[in-house]
Amino acid sequence: MGTVKKLKWPLLVIIVVLIGYLLLKQYQKDLNSELNKQITQAEALGAAFGLEHDQLACLNQSLVNIKGCSAFSCGVVHGRFFKACLSQAQQNAAFCEAVPAYTEKKDRATKDWLRDVCFDYPETNICNQLMRQRQQLCGTNS
């Protein structure tokens, strides 16, 4: 009888942990499904916007879109909007003006530039991501 009582609590803990794990996996699956829908929608909206606008308009719209957005997933969604928009947009020579050359590791010029262009955005990390995309595109178009 004492052995059954001793096994009862560890078994109960294992069952609770297992149920928690399964619920978490389902939650993650639902979350990823929702994020994928948002990404697909953002890419479609970005491409449509880009067809009717130039690169600077894509940048400006993306900066408007990120206002109030600080979550990682939000950055992914708006980054995909920006990328899709740029893929369809008319080129604009001013888009690459004063943009430092892209380097994989941020150099001093890049850090200073990012600080200056993202200063007015509380969503600094997302702004940095967008500007790094801009830097990469400007580097490949040079």
Instruction: Annotate 68-133 with three-state secondary structure.
Output: CCCCHHHHHHHHHHHHHHHHHCECCHHHHCCCCCCCCCCCHHHHHHHHHHCCCCCCHHHHHHHHHH
**Arithmetic mean of pLDDT over the chain:** 87
> Tens of pLDDT along 18-76?
777 766 776 666 557 788 899 999 999 999 999 999 999 999 999 999 988 878 888 89
Percent residues over pLDDT 90 in the chain: 60
Which of 30-39, 51-60, 84-93, 107-116 is predicted with the least confidence, judged by mean pLDDT? 30-39
Amino acid residing at 60: N
> Can you give the pLDDT at residue 2?
59
Beta bridge partners of 54: 90
**DSSP code at position 67:** T
> Can you give the pLDDT at residue 5?
67
Taking the CA atoms of 72, 75, 79 and 80 in sequence, report the sign of the dihedral they define: positive
> Can you give the pLDDT at residue 19?
74
Residue of 83 and 68 predicted with greater confidence: 83
Tell whether the model's pLDDT for residue 77 goes beyond 90: yes
Q: Using CA atoms, how far apart are residues 127 and 115, in angstroms rounded to an integer?
A: 10
Q: Using CA atoms, how far apart are residues 116 and 134, in angstroms rounded to an integer?
A: 15
Count of positions (residues) in the chain:
142
